[in-house]
Amino acid sequence: MRRPIIAGNWKMNLLPGQAVALVDDLWGMISGQGSVEVVVCPPFMDIPAVSEMIGSGKMDIGLAAQNMHWEESGAFTGEVSPTMLLKFGVTHVIIGHSERRQFFGETDQGVNRKVRSALEHGLVPIMCVGETLKQREAGDTENVIVNQVKCGLFEADSARANGMVIAYEPLWAIGTGKAATALDAEEVISLVRRTVSETLNAETADRIRIQYGGSVNPDNISEFMSQQDIDGALVGGASLKAEDFAKIVRFS
């Protein structure tokens, strides 16, 4: 059985004080539930404060960065390394979010270097894949997704990859209020699982957790979670409100 994982991607929102208050409110609503792994993904500048809050409150909440560089140090102005993240208690890292691919020129090759580096450093990568509306309408979804998964996992250590997460986020569903249907999401996510099996192996494909992301809210979460291959959600907008995110975590 794969343990569901629900992650809240705060994107470039919340100052440290607001971030800490959100985590505090959230914990008040979800402490005691243990069936779902819960992760928050604050902006880099909020990570120290949130990390301290989670540690001092002994909260069972994972802490993710929204991006990282693959090297440990060097002449990479503006970047943050995996060892820096580990110093602040970061446990997970989003890699290749569509906003990074679209607005910051991230490539499948870069995503692959980051995924392998995260795995080597003991961070759980949440690798994002997804097609644009144009690609979907042209019937290219399958090609795009298979290619992103294959490139992203190229030469990844399969034993380490067992613990990683993939998020399927169709670009047309992100921040639009127009979520994919649970059946459409399931169809692509089972394709992702088959592709993991071909790229790495069947055991990894069986153990890896695959999330759906794109306009997830308290009303549609249970439909996604009832699908066989969907193991959780990557939540943007709704993760900024403690009540909504707590309802998503307590989907059952």
* Residues acting as catalytic residues: 97, 169
CB 221 within 8 A of CB 176: no
Min separation Cβ 239 and ligand PGA, Å: 7
For residue 170, the minimal CB distance to ligand PGA (Å) is 10
Rounded to an integer, what distance in angstroms lies between the CA atom of residue 80 and that of residue 83? 9
Report, in Å, the least distance between residue 30 CB and ligand PGA.
18
Of 82 and 237, which has the nearer Cβ to ligand PGA?
237
Distance in Å, CB of 41 to ligand PGA, minimum: 9
Q: CA 13, CA 238: separation in Å to the nearest integer?
A: 12
Structure tokens at 241: 């409100």
> Which residues contact ligand PGA (rule: CB under 6 A)?
9, 169, 174-175, 213-216, 234-238
What per-residue string of b and e applies to 3-41 under the rule 16 or more CB within 10 Å gives b?
A: ebbbbbbbbebbebeebbebbeebbeebeeeeebbbbbb
Closest CA to 134 of 178, 172, 175: 172
Phi, psi of 55 (to 5 degrees): -65, -50
Asked whether 180 and 200 are in contact (CB, 8 A), the reply is no
Our CB check for ligand PGA shows the closer of 119 and 248 to be 248
Q: Which residue in the shown chain puts its C-beta closest to ligand PGA?
A: 236
Report the residue number, 66 or 204, with the smaller CB distance to ligand PGA.
66
Burial of 227 (0-12, 13-18, 19+ CB in 10 A): middle
Of 201 and 217, CB closest to ligand PGA: 217
Give the 3-state secondary structure of residue 126. Answer: strand
End-to-end CA distance of the chain: 16
Is the Cβ of residue 20 or residue 180 nearer to ligand PGA in the bound state?
180
Q: How far is the CB of 94 from ligand PGA (least distance, A)?
A: 8
